[in-house]
Structure 1
């Protein structure tokens, strides 16, 4: 009898579950194979040359069809680009919940430069759209279209602080203790971390940092503890003469300095790559032009700049655009053999160089 009652209860439970309206369960997302958005514009093969004069204009309107997630949804779309043929490395141009997106010249150009696409060079890119409704639902990603884009060079006005001091007149910076003539330090990431190079001709010279090219807007000096700043603080004393790399962090009020001497090394140089038994080719600093230079016979090959006969501080040019960086695989190519004047300019940001064939 007990077994019969259990059997009847089971049958009733199954019947009740089967009789429920499926609509009461709500929509069920197609989490394994959502429909894919299809790009309708631009067409594959389109070519764009970006210009600063059209910076605020719309370059193109990206358009696509809605994906099918199996129910009515409002996806967030991310418009993405990557180097052509990349399976990864896509970065977003922007997001929207519409099925179109206007790409503005300036924003596109800035993204390309940020992602290390060299200015004034043509780059093959893949463009795609990714649709998402939640972390638990598989994103719907369009097939990419191929486009080519040539970005333009932008001169960025980086935030600056300044280094006035008693060293200025003897070091090529005109008037002592005059912020208007003082060399700047730059915050290239706009994060209150500043870096730059300052030549100090005489050891024992004193200096401070100012927020602007005046004393009225604030200044910083040493707190009395090496490497620590306070406002206004005391004068900082240069321990020796030299070409100083200076770093200032205004977030935690710290600073550091390092004297640097610059040289060239590489397979293109007569000595080849520097090592334990191979010397660099030393450069000479000119306080008037504020650049390092060297006349040297080069062969076809590669070179880099490095400080203090070591690799802890070295610069190359990953994009081949004359702007120095510390990226990996950034050796500078020398295409033709010959005698060159090599110029290194660390007085402004971004740091630059020239290879002038004589």
Structure 2
């Protein structure tokens, strides 16, 4: 589907005079880089003030590919020339999905000086609000500032395009915070078996596990070795322990939410037939949730949908038994059972992304997009 994008060109200068040139120098040490010709993108209209426009904003290298291995290094630095007569303060670098005219912009950082820098992890945290983790997208950037005598009217630079590849912030859970699930669906290979994770290290484990066979059987193994003292079997009444038979699910092939508690030695499973969204942000708040599609390449659920101002949650199987809200973890907004609802402040067309295939490392993005074209126009 085509989307409307902003036109190439320089934004009209409104106001009394031009400020000095603003230069954004991108200093990025990442997995790989590519260099393209910088592209100026039309920005939002500029209000007239005594210092009405921040001119010449540009990015030296408009393609960034980030990876977690570099997250403690300086990722990006913006700098600009200032004069004693600027009469501006609170310089803020903003980012937004291409073509959205900064309606739901993400602020990267603010300074009263002439430069602001971000670590790779800081940049990734911000960009994952616009671009799903582990994917590539295009954002627009601009600088916003306010007159020193008030904050009633902001002034802006032109917007420039930046191609960004984000990464999934992955947490490795050490023993005993994981339980492996080797089974007949993956040739009983303990090394490659999916795992359930106790995110809070409280003896409560969960994970979404996909079975490719019709009669999945497995065991719970704590650790990385087959040993009698850490291999758990089915002992009846939804309990696991020692000396029993294999654990099994009886809904056929598919994806299941599997939970296990070492506090009660009980376990359960729920087959996930689909994921949708449910809440007041869904137009008409229908009884049947709009259903997300599964993207095999990213192993995530995705959808594009028109939303109105309101809230919503991810909901499996059009039922409240399995729902996901959100919480902030390590600087990222992640989906979690029992989390707060997602809030849509501005009505419009949104891209929604939900990834739950890695236990303890769920991810999501809810980002406003340019309104889709109608009939190819």
TM-score, normalized by length of structure 2?
A: 0.46
TM-score, normalized by length of structure 1?
A: 0.48
Q: Which structure has the bigger radius of gyration?
A: 1
